[in-house]
């Protein structure tokens, strides 16, 4: 019936039908088409009202009005019939459950998938500030700072969730979702974590995008929905160099999803695990690019809050930072839960304590990430969460794996007092000087 509105209303309903399609599909071109249909019908109706008879209407105006009438009537009918399938497509998009697939890694067959990993999160083991961090643990003396020991086997850093840690594996079979999520066709799985599941999809123009479907449900709370959408929309102001652009954010029934630019490449975490630490030149380029990305994020008024190796993708054109601002948006949704969103080994002391955080917390996480890239070790260890929290708050990590030129900068970034840390823009300047 929707597609027959132009026919039944002699074209008068066409602007509304096409406008509805533009809103559902988020298409600027369809919005322009709706305006043009409206102008055509409007000109015809105004001319008919003023002149009464078609014999009295000037030839030019009569021609334009006739084109507007039949364009909105017949053309609108054809246009609506073409769009009907996309606008009202039923199937998995309406009953899509984003629970983690059986396994993840690369989708079977070409093209090769990026090893996206959504930031796994850990519910804080404390409820700050009422509960204090774990007492200082006895540690062997180390004049160079805390230096976690590698096990004999190949290093694979854990990712903490509320249950068992999740380890990405490229040898696992990948569940390939089929169907639609809004106007996006799902064609593969890219990763999973504490925040949600990431899928590879095609947009209406046939371009690949990454869609993060969040685990958090909104349960019809309109205030929370609007707050979440507002927080994620803020990330679209971030300059696009060295970041994966946020293209769309929406809520399908009570499930939110964020659409971003698809970057084909491994995460920094996966790259270091497979190929070892970065050399000095590669580390310097990585440090400069990621600091530039953080500077752009902070300039837009956004704090990443979950910067870590899994959220840095190494694409063909260099490093790209992903998932910025998602943790903040989820904090707005779960503000009454008492949980702290983040990955403990890369969280700042003030973040662990539940205090107000700003760009300084990303700078702390940036330095911890650079230590991992240079050494293959997690800066504050990889054992139990209480031990990691204790080291983040009370200990200084070993910096000897970093090039000499970066050690003083990393030490400043890891200062326990946020106000003593440099800004991301300062980091860029100090690297190039």
306 is known as an active-site residue: yes
Question: How many Cβ atoms are within 10 Å of 219's Cβ, its own excluded?
Answer: 8
Residue where the block lists tokens 């290093």: 155
Gap between the Cα atoms of 424 and 48, Å rounded = 64
Q: How many CB atoms lie within 10 A of CB 380?
A: 25
Q: Residues 98, 103, 107, 109: is their CA dihedral positive or negative?
A: negative
**What tokens were used for 188?**
């593969």
Nearest to 330 by CA among 192, 123, 155: 123
* 254, 274, 281, 306: the active-site residue: 306
d(CA 352, CA 387): 13
The residues that bridge with 397 in the sheet, in sequence order, are 146
Closest CA to 323 of 388, 414, 232, 253: 232
Q: Are 140 and 288 in contact (CB under 8 A)?
A: no
By the 8 A CB rule, do 381 and 148 touch?
yes
The catalytic residues are 306
């Amino acid at each position: 019936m929707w597609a027959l509105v132009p026919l039944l209303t002699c074209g008068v309903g066409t602007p509304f039908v096409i406008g509805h399609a533009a809103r559902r599909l988020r298409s600027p071109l369809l919005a322009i088409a709706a305006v043009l249909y409206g102008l055509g019908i409007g000109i015809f109706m105004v001319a008919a009202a003023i002149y009464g008879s078609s014999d009295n209407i000037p030839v030019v105006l009569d021609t334009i009005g006739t084109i507007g009438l039949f364009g909105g009537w017949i053309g609108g009918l054809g246009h609506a019939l073409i769009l009907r399938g996309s606008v009202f497509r039923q199937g998995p998009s309406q009953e899509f459950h984003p629970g983690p697939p059986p396994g993840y890694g690369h989708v079977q067959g070409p093209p090769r998938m990026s090893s996206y990993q959504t930031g796994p999160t850990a519910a804080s083991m404390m409820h700050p500030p009422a509960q204090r961090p774990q007492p200082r643990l006895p540690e062997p003396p180390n004049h160079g700072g805390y230096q976690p020991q590698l096990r004999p086997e190949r290093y694979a850093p854990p990712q903490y969730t509320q249950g068992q840690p999740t380890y990405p594996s490229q040898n696992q079979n990948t569940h390939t979702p089929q169907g639609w999520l809004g106007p996006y066709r799902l064609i593969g799985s890219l990763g999973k974590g504490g925040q949600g599941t990431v899928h590879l999809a095609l947009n209406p123009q046939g371009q690949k995008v990454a869609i993060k479907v969040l685990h958090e449900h909104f349960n019809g709370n309109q205030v929370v929905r609007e707050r979440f959408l507002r927080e994620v929309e803020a990330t679209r102001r971030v300059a696009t160099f060295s970041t994966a652009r946020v293209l769309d954010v929406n809520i399908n029934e009570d499930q939110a999803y964020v659409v971003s630019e698809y970057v084909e490449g491994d995460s920094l975490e996966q790259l270091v695990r497979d190929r070892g630490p970065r050399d000095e030149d590669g580390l310097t380029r990585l440090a400069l690019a990621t600091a530039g990305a953080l500077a752009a994020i902070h300039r837009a008024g956004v704090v990443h809050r979950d910067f870590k190796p899994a959220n840095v993708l190494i694409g063909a054109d260099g490093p790209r930072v992903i998932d910025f601002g998602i943790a903040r948006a989820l904090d707005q949704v779960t503000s009454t839960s008492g949980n702290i969103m983040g990955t403990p080994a890369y969280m700042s002391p003030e973040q662990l304590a539940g205090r107000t955080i700003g760009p300084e917390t990303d700078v702390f996480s940036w330095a911890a990430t650079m230590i991992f890239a240079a050494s293959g070790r997690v800066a504050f260890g990889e054992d139990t969460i209480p031990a990691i929290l204790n080291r983040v708050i009370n200990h200084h990590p070993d910096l000897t794996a970093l090039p000499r030129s970066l050690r003083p900068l990393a030490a400043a970034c890891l200062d326990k007092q946020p106000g003593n840390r440099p800004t991301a823009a300062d980091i860029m300047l100090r690297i190039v000087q």
